[in-house]
Amino acid sequence: MSARIIDGKALSAKVREQVGERARALAAKGIKPGLAVVLVGEDPASQVYVRNKAAACEAAGMTSRVIRMAADTPEGELLDVVESLNADPAIHGILVQLPLPGHIDTGLVIETIDARKDVDGFHISNAGLLMTGRPLFLPCTPYGVMKMLDSEGVALRGAEAVIVGASNIVGKPMAMLLLAAGATVTLCNSKTRDLGAQTRRADVLVVATGKPGIVTGEMIKPGAVVIDVGISRLADGSLAGDVEFESARRVASAITPVPGGVGPMTIAMLLVNTLEAAERGA
C-alpha cells in the first residue's frame, strides 16, 4: 500500500479563490476586509509565518497590516497596540504571533483582543463557544484539518479518532471538532502510557506535538488517515513532521506531507475567519 497524498497546497488554493470572490463582493459595498498581525521580537520562524500571512491577505484582495515590535517591548505597550486595533473599524481580524517573549503574559494579551476580531480563535470566549458547539471562530489549524478531511470524503461519524498532542492551539479544539462530527475521540498527551497502543486504534490519526518522527509506521493502523500537523527544522536544515513519513505512507490510506500539507490550510482558514469577521460587520 502507498497512501495517497492529501495536498494542502491545492486545497488551500481553492479556498483562497473562494475568499477572493467573497472579498470582491464586500469591496463592491465599500468594505475591504482587514487583518492586523502583531509580531514581537525577531524569531525567524515567526517572521516567515507573518510574511506568508501578509502575502496571502494581499493576494485575496484583503488589507494586511503588520506591526513589528522589539523583543524587549513592555507588556503594557503591546496591550495598548491591541486596544488600538480593537477600536479600528478598518481592522476586522487581529492576530498576535506566538510565541511571545517570556516577560509578556500570553494569556493576558489574547484576552485583550476583542473576541469579535479574534480570528485565531484563541480568546476564552471563543474557546467556550467551541466547547458548547456554537463557535464564533474556529482555530485555524483544526479548521483546516477538518476541511482536508471533508475534501477527502473521510467518514467521521462513528470513526475512532486519536489526537497526539493536547495543546490549546491544536489538540483540544481538534478534539471538539471531531466530537461534533460524530467521531469517538482519544486525546493523548506527554503522560500517555503506551502511545502506540492508542495510535494503532485510530481510523483518523492527528499528530501535533512538534517532536519529529514521534509516530512511526508501526504505530499506525493499516488504512488509517494520517494528518501530520507538526513541522520542525532538523540539524541539516531540512523540514520534518511529527510522523515518520516514509514508513507511515506504506501503512496509511491517506497522509499529509510536511511541508505542503496542513500549513497552507492554516493560512487559508485565517483568511476565511477574517473575511467572516468583515461580513458580520457589514
| Residue 155 clears pLDDT 80, i.e. is over it | yes
Quote the pLDDT of residue 43. 84
Mean pLDDT score, 108-125: 97
Quote the pLDDT of residue 100. 96
Catalytic residue IDs: 53, 97, 120
The tens digit of pLDDT for each residue in 217-244 reads: 999 999 999 999 999 989 998 999 999 9
- β-strand 4-5 against 239-240: which pairing, if any? unpaired
Query: What is 30-126's CATH number?
Result: 3.40.50.10860
Quote the pLDDT of residue 1. 66
| Residue 68 clears pLDDT 90, i.e. is over it | yes
Mean pLDDT score, 166-186: 97
Quote the pLDDT of residue 48. 86
The residue type found at 47 is Q
The tens digit of pLDDT for each residue in 237-256 reads: 899 999 999 999 999 999 99
Query: What is 140-262's CATH number?
Result: 3.40.50.720
Quote the pLDDT of residue 77. 98
* Average model confidence (pLDDT) across the chain: 96
Q: Which is nearest to 66 in space by CA: 53, 56, 78, 76?
A: 53
* DSSP output for the chain: --PEE--HHHHHHHHHHHHHHHHHHHHTTT---EEEEEEES--HHHHHHHHHHHHHHHHTT-EEEEEEE-TT--HHHHHHHHHHHHT-TT--EEEEPSSPPTTS-HHHHHHHS-GGG-TTS-SHHHHHHHHTT--SS--HHHHHHHHHHHHTT---TT-EEEEE---TTTHHHHHHHHHHTT-EEEEE-TT-SSHHHHHTT-SEEEE-SS-TT-B-GGGS-TT-EEEE---EE-TTS-EE-SB-HHHHHTT-SEE--SSSSHHHHHHHHHHHHHHHHHHHH-
Domain chopping of the chain, boundaries:
30-126, 140-262
The tens digit of pLDDT for each residue in 142-152 reads: 999 999 999 99
Quote the pLDDT of residue 39. 96
| Residue 63 clears pLDDT 70, i.e. is over it | yes
Q: Do domains 30-126 and 140-262 have the same CATH topology?
A: yes
Query: Band of the pLDDT at 45, cuts 50, 70, 90?
Result: confident
| Residue 7 clears pLDDT 80, i.e. is over it | yes
